[in-house]
Structure 1
């Protein structure tokens, strides 16, 4: 883990440094109709990703940006350590001889997939991509995917603050400007409603488990147990408590310098639910309610989001 953390911090620091010398209109590029950060992704990487060979025992976390993927990554890496008879956070949980990759599947250089083919199982990977843009081998080989979703108003709110603090993304003078782009599908990694709609087509598959940010917040112990069961990882009560302790917002924020470098100050802001109430206008509420109702409400993922509970003022 130590080596992968250095890989993580190094790649982010390089991306931020490169972005600092770029104009705002250079920060994003379009690939197959979707925008991505120029200093994190590339067309060459996306092309190489198409032939990536997934394994049945890969552990994959899928979630739109600002849905809580960093939080669930902490939980999953600890569960993987436990499955390997290691203690999360201890020196023994790291394989110092193994060169690990930046966990986000679409981030990095085009040669990373060749290096990943040499990693031992289980490989852990995260992605913000829609399913149609993932390698076909993931679905052909029935790799297990934990799909993380979050109420769209908090996603938008968190994404706004994140964009204004991270140099690799365009910043916004006002929340109103950001909201317009969010609703007009001008976001990095694409439109969130389209993301939910596309993933909904896969929601019934046995190799996909859907969990919401809000339910993990409501009952973290039950959520971790359910995730462990889905991936076939036996968990003692002592191990469960350790995972819960290490994945709490307070613990992750406290350790962020070590785990994420300077990026940690940007990444860990509030980690709560319903922050959207501090920023949405009445008109914006109505616009997002209408979009949700028209595009997502009747779907399996739409129902799982409990929109009326979390997104109605």
Structure 2
């Protein structure tokens, strides 16, 4: 396809969006969820692909092994709200998924999720990542993805992140409003990227309990190994090298997958300023994030 023009950020019902997420809005809002659908919700660059692949392997690794090598993950787990004319419609992809349960991903703030997901009492897996690492990852994603607005330099991007001038809105609103939804909607499993890094086996066990999977020890080992960062980065079905709008020469989609990479980007002054701003924005929140994790030799090969 031709080079995609960089979209402009604009405010849509009070939330920063681009045309690639609003031009199919009616179909998105009227999407018909099924009771066994599993919605994977995240702020951009918070572990979406990782958790999508974990769930895909848990559900279909044994029953549809041929799809693992022939169908890219972004087709197996469609992006609900994406719409690029003459190329891609997330709602159409989801409607035509041949597998059940349907695994569907979204970056929508909780107030934008189609009502049918709540009406059908669908299971929702939400993944949150600490703000500093999330900002760094989102910055590099913006550099390489032509479907994103031009990110500018790091200093400009960081200020925009703090100001909430981002596609899908402020990180602070996103993680907090999904957290609040969990208090009234029992079918949300709220996960933390840092916990997955620290102990992927434990977090996969908790995820299995939530979605009702009972893998054997051998199957779980395959999931752990297959979803390691290095394996996914090498895998053309998971590393997004088949997506034409992304320029991996600028920055790979799967870049480092670490906790604490923010330390290589934030200056001392930026970190102090960010911390003060963060305290104000999160003062009424009960959410707790870690910006670094304990090193574990046992888990190192599974980090993402």
TM-score, length-scaled by structure 2: 0.82
Name the Cα RMSD after superposition. Answer: 2.7
Cα distance, 1:34–1:112 mapped onto 2, change above 3 Å = same
Asked if 1:103 corresponds to 2:83, the answer is no
Deviations along 1:211-253, one digit per CA (max 9) or x if unpaired, are 1110000011111111111000111110001001110110011
Distance 1:146 1:138 in 2: 12
Asked if 1:32 corresponds to 2:18, the answer is no
How far did 1:108 drift?
2.6
Alignment length (residue pairs): 279
TM-score, length-scaled by structure 1: 0.80
Q: Report SS of the residue matched to 1:62.
A: strand
Match of 2:186 in 1: 206
Distance 1:111 1:251 in 2: 28
Asked if 1:123 corresponds to 2:118, the answer is no
CA contact (8 A) 2:133 2:259 kept: yes
CA contact (8 A) 2:9 2:167 kept: yes
Distance 2:188 2:34 in 1: 15
Asked if 1:177 corresponds to 2:156, the answer is yes
Q: Report SS of the residue matched to 1:267.
A: coil
Asked if 1:161 corresponds to 2:140, the answer is yes
Asked if 1:280 corresponds to 2:280, the answer is no
How far did 1:112 drift?
5.4
Cα distance, 1:46–1:226 mapped onto 2, change above 3 Å = same
Match of 2:125 in 1: 146
Q: Report SS of the residue matched to 1:48.
A: helix
Match of 1:7 in 2: none
Match of 1:8 in 2: none
Question: What are structure 2's unaligned runs of at least 5 residues?
Answer: 294-304
Asked if 1:271 corresponds to 2:261, the answer is no
Match of 2:298 in 1: none
Asked if 1:255 corresponds to 2:235, the answer is yes
Q: Report SS of the residue matched to 2:31.
A: coil
CA contact (8 A) 2:124 2:188 kept: yes
CA contact (8 A) 1:86 1:92 kept: no
Match of 1:223 in 2: 203
Q: Report SS of the residue matched to 2:144.
A: coil
Asked if 1:42 corresponds to 2:22, the answer is yes
Q: Report SS of the residue matched to 2:181.
A: coil
- Of residues 70, 81, 86, the one that matches 2:60 is 81
Asked if 1:241 corresponds to 2:221, the answer is yes
